[in-house]
Structure 1
Amino acid sequence: MTTAAADRVPTATKITYGFGAVAYGIKDNGFSVFLLTFYNQVIGLPAAWVGLVLLIALLLDALIDPAVGHLSDRTRSRWGRRHPWLYVSAIPIAVTWLFLWMPPAGEQWFQLVYLLIFATLVRMSISLNEVPSIALAPEMTPDYHERTAVLGWRYLFGWTGGLLMLAAGYGIFRLNEAGNMTQANYASYAIAGSVLMLVAVLASAIGTHRRYARPLPGEPHQPTLREMAGCIRFKPFLLLLLAGFFAFANQGVTFALSNYLLGYVWKLGTTEQVLYAFSLFGGVALALVVSRWAGRRYGKPAAAVRLALVTTTVGMTPYFLFLMGWVPTMTPMQTLGFILPFITISTAASISVMITGASMMADVTTANFRITGRQQEGVFYAGYFFMQKCVTGVGIFLSGQILGAIGFPERADPATINPAIVGNLASTYLAITLTLGLLTAWAFSLSIRGGAPEPSPLDQSAATHP
């Protein structure tokens, strides 16, 4: 059976749908890469306390995700279930993002409370958009493989938005350059991000409005607590949550420590850091192709296992060589050239794991619908998003604790920092991310044996999709 051309998602619609993830990418990159550095190295708060506050903010925010997913499932309007949420979230996202990066002067306790409040508000505002938006994906297409393509565009734009602001942070706003890490520069970074987030959210909502902002027939189902608990107990869902737990924790640690690893382990300057940020686009673009190819070649769960092993092995190789003393003395540009191939391949494999996992979640919602007859995409994706936020927060929290445990100083100078501290940073990062990467592959392997949803005869049409 083949899918009618009229039912396929047009490429332009895939692009506009994916463009909305720019907002999430900017938020995620800002939280993961710059926020700990800003409040630790610029504001002067202890890294361990900042990491703890960000973890608390994530846990508080994650409580809203199931509610948003449940309410968007129940929403009935002339614009359908999801689009009212996409429009209403735009202004809160832009405003709370600005305030997060503009803390007033005050005692440490006051600034920590300020961080807690606005970190929570930013993430809650993003939830109002991201949960309904990603829950829209299963409604856009029932096709097993086309879902990977649809969500691939979303991950492509999410990473692109984050990397653009990363490059701007390094090259334009000088956020990781000694002497230029000022509140004024971070405020400029926040304004640019706020404008881009607002444009992305509204453009995505408007771009998908004509095709998908439509009422659904029938009355909204009023799920009981028992039915919602049934979603949580659905075995394919639990297995996917387990794999995501390890994958996103690993990502959280890597992102939160990236400034420290680039600046103090590899001693890259501003120019090299900008080039590093732009070079990651190669990995992002490659992931869009690799995820689709691997899913068709091996099936989604088996592809995720292989990709998790690739990103772990390749990504850790330069740190192993560094700790063994096998990296020769090089200029910063030569060092960048040495680590870039490892980073590009590891990034492509890592993003492919995330795309594959999100596509598998769409299959979980379809499998549950076949069994129960209930459409609960919002509840399932809220649970997945809940896990992602909590575990990414755990990764950031672990990073703060690592820096505190090894005695990493505030406002440290790469030229004078104790080499023993740098070695401890590299070895601890290697041990943690290697462990989490192997656990990710193991958890996805459980999905192969534990009943991961496979395409039904109605879904096999994806084989010929572009």
Structure 2
Amino acid sequence: MTAPGAVNVTGAQPATTAPMIRRLSPGTMASYGVGAAAYGVKDSGFGTFLLLFYNQVVGVPAATVGFVVMCALIIDAFVDPTIGFLSDRTRSRWGRRHPWMYGAALPIMLGWLLLWNPPAASHQAILGWLFVVAVIVRSAVSAYEVPSQALAAELSGDYDERTRIMAYRYLFGWAGGLIMLIAAYMYFLAPAPGYPNGLLNPAGYRGFAIAGALFMGAAILFSALGTHREIPYLPKQERRILSLRDSFREIAQTVRNRAFAILMLAGVCAYTGQGLVYALSNYLYSFVWGFRGATFVYFSLSLFAGVVIAFVVAPRIGARLAKPRAAAIAALASVAFGTTPYWLRLAGVFPGIGDPAMLPLLFAFATLGTACGVTAYILGASMLADVVEDSEMRTGRRSEGMFFAGGFFVQKCTSGIGIFVCGLILAAAGFPEKAVPGQVPAPVIDRLTLIYACCYVTFNILAAFFYTRFPFGRREHELRMARLTGAPVIDAAPREPFA
């Protein structure tokens, strides 16, 4: 039996617990991937505008905002694995994942509206509001993202197809975030009377909130409906009744997986670095490079060009090289391209503001850095999907929800640890509140640039190191799939010597 829009590569009948080794149609891939646009909107909002909004618009100290947002991660550390555990054990006529996906849309929309409309109150009350609403938003996003990401490991058991599935997810995730960025810079937060710097206009954030809520709700429902027809072909497990003690014992047994632990360490470093870039982006582009108005739009398009390059390159490089090696190389290349303009500026050799060569060079480095960074993320997510069968061989259980809950929690470091580190960097650089571009002293800008570049390099080097420690590759995965499904092994020999 072959699912609609899929080709059964092996010709074997699907097993009761393991996914079919198959290729998915572009339509199925797109339907699955478009749901990530909701997280893209949330991620760009949290990472790019949240600190700026509460610091420069509302007037709360940056380091305090960063600390509050990071503290919300404590709640996420309990919410995400709980959702993953419950999703793995959900049994319904809509399968394990889709009830969660449908149910998350409305809470996400409502929480997003509240986040950008804090009450007129004291700083302490506003910080309390931020903490509570940030927890609500991120918990609601988890209720969609954890089951949706877990679905990737169920749609296909093919080693390379999983990289393609993740490439679609990252393409749409970035597209959603960049669409909202462009809409913010061109319309919602564009310069207006009384606000030559539209990023400081409180009214603009209200429209930004409404548009983002509608966008996220639509993306989630489109994805859930578009993948609904795949439900009969997904792995199924028998219903099991466990005591609370047995449930916790199974959770502990599941997460004690070496490959999973290594990916989590790599992800913490990689996504914290990304969070640092997001949180500081408006500071760097406005105060270091002098961006105004449409320049933000063109820059966002250059970033998306990098995502498109990663969408094309990541599946190909993952098919030719060992995924861990490819991810490590991509992480190192990303930080090299991403920080070069800042090192050259500090050395006094990069074109300055007003030089016709500055923007093209800056955009080119940003495009290449983004392409390499997203390639590393895609390969890392694909490796996480492969961990599912490794765990199944060890425990006898498929725990996609648990593993991807861990992966998603790590992604939240983008708006948690990253924002916290950003607040510390701004404080260490002596960056003033309610600053005006062009009026910040040069030594402050130089300190900001230097500390940022050093932190970003450190996080990416650590990520690359952990990627190289991932313990298995193509051959091991395909042998596991053969044992689980009874299917013949296809090209079990690794295409490159495994590092």
Does residue 204 of structure 2 align to residue 185 of structure 1?
Answer: yes
Equivalent in 440, 444, 447 of residue 421 of structure 1: 444
Does residue 434 of structure 2 align to residue 411 of structure 1?
Answer: yes
CA–CA separation in structure 2 for the residues paired with 1:175 and 1:421: 26
Alignment gaps of 5+ in structure 2: 1-7, 13-19, 483-488, 493-499
Equivalent in 183, 187, 190 of residue 172 of structure 1: 187
Alignment correspondent of 1:396: 419
DSSP-derived class of the 1:408 partner: coil
Question: Does the CA-based 8 Å contact 2:276-2:414 persist in structure 1?
Answer: no
CA displacement, residues 155-186 of structure 1 (integer Å, 9 cap, x when unaligned) = 11000000110111111112687443222100
Shift in Å, 1:151: 1.3
Shift in Å, 1:330: 4.0
**Identical amino acids, percent of aligned pairs:** 44
- Which amino acid letter does the alignment assign opposite residue 255 of structure 1? Y
Alignment gaps of 5+ in structure 1: none
- Which amino acid letter does the alignment assign opposite residue 3 of structure 1? T
Equivalent in 75, 83, 97 of residue 60 of structure 1: 75
Equivalent in 304, 313, 324 of residue 281 of structure 1: 304
How high is the TM-score relative to the length of structure 2?
A: 0.88
Question: Does the CA-based 8 Å contact 2:254-2:395 persist in structure 1?
Answer: no
Alignment correspondent of 1:385: 408
Alignment correspondent of 1:292: 315
Equivalent in 343, 346, 352 of residue 375 of structure 2: 352
Question: Does the CA-based 8 Å contact 2:266-2:467 persist in structure 1?
Answer: yes
Question: Does the CA-based 8 Å contact 1:175-1:186 persist in structure 2?
Answer: no
- Which amino acid letter does the alignment assign opposite residue 218 of structure 2? V
Equivalent in 478, 482, 496 of residue 456 of structure 1: 478
DSSP-derived class of the 2:478 partner: coil
Shift in Å, 1:114: 0.8
Question: Does the CA-based 8 Å contact 2:118-2:129 persist in structure 1?
Answer: yes
Does residue 236 of structure 2 align to residue 226 of structure 1?
Answer: no
Q: Which stretch shows the higher mean deviation, 126-135 or 231-240? A: 231-240
Alignment correspondent of 1:271: 294
DSSP-derived class of the 2:179 partner: helix
CA–CA separation in structure 2 for the residues paired with 1:81 and 1:135: 10
Alignment correspondent of 1:80: 95
Shift in Å, 1:461: 4.5
**Shift in CA distance, 221/321, structure 1 to aligned 2, threshold 3 Å:** farther
Shift in Å, 1:295: 0.7
Alignment correspondent of 1:256: 279
**Shift in CA distance, 172/3, structure 1 to aligned 2, threshold 3 Å:** farther
Shift in Å, 1:221: 6.6
Shift in Å, 1:452: 5.4
Question: Does the CA-based 8 Å contact 1:79-1:214 persist in structure 2?
Answer: no
How high is the TM-score relative to the length of structure 1?
A: 0.94
Q: Which stretch shows the higher mean deviation, 5-14 or 284-293? A: 5-14
**Shift in CA distance, 104/214, structure 1 to aligned 2, threshold 3 Å:** farther
Q: Which stretch shows the higher mean deviation, 329-338 or 203-212? A: 329-338
Does residue 218 of structure 2 align to residue 199 of structure 1?
Answer: yes
Question: Does the CA-based 8 Å contact 1:269-1:332 persist in structure 2?
Answer: no
Shift in Å, 1:251: 0.6
Aligned length: 461
**Shift in CA distance, 187/462, structure 1 to aligned 2, threshold 3 Å:** farther
**Shift in CA distance, 430/89, structure 1 to aligned 2, threshold 3 Å:** same
DSSP-derived class of the 2:42 partner: helix
**Shift in CA distance, 243/175, structure 1 to aligned 2, threshold 3 Å:** farther
Alignment correspondent of 2:61: 46
Shift in Å, 1:462: 8.7
**Shift in CA distance, 4/264, structure 1 to aligned 2, threshold 3 Å:** farther
Shift in Å, 1:4: 4.4
Q: Which stretch shows the higher mean deviation, 176-185 or 260-269? A: 176-185
CA displacement, residues 421-455 of structure 1 (integer Å, 9 cap, x when unaligned) = 100110000110011111111111112xx445743
Alignment correspondent of 1:328: 351
Equivalent in 115, 118, 124 of residue 103 of structure 1: 118
Alignment correspondent of 2:143: 128
DSSP-derived class of the 2:416 partner: helix
CA–CA separation in structure 2 for the residues paired with 1:263 and 1:390: 24
**Shift in CA distance, 217/70, structure 1 to aligned 2, threshold 3 Å:** closer
CA–CA separation in structure 2 for the residues paired with 1:95 and 1:213: 32
Shift in Å, 1:302: 0.8
CA–CA separation in structure 2 for the residues paired with 1:24 and 1:69: 17
Shift in Å, 1:372: 2.0
**Shift in CA distance, 106/334, structure 1 to aligned 2, threshold 3 Å:** farther
**Shift in CA distance, 304/75, structure 1 to aligned 2, threshold 3 Å:** same
CA–CA separation in structure 2 for the residues paired with 1:207 and 1:391: 28
Q: Which stretch shows the higher mean deviation, 222-231 or 337-346? A: 222-231
DSSP-derived class of the 1:456 partner: helix
CA–CA separation in structure 1 for the residues paired with 2:332 and 2:352: 29
CA–CA separation in structure 2 for the residues paired with 1:153 and 1:2: 20
Equivalent in 155, 162, 165 of residue 177 of structure 2: 162
Runs of 4+ in structure 1 off by over 6 angstroms are: none
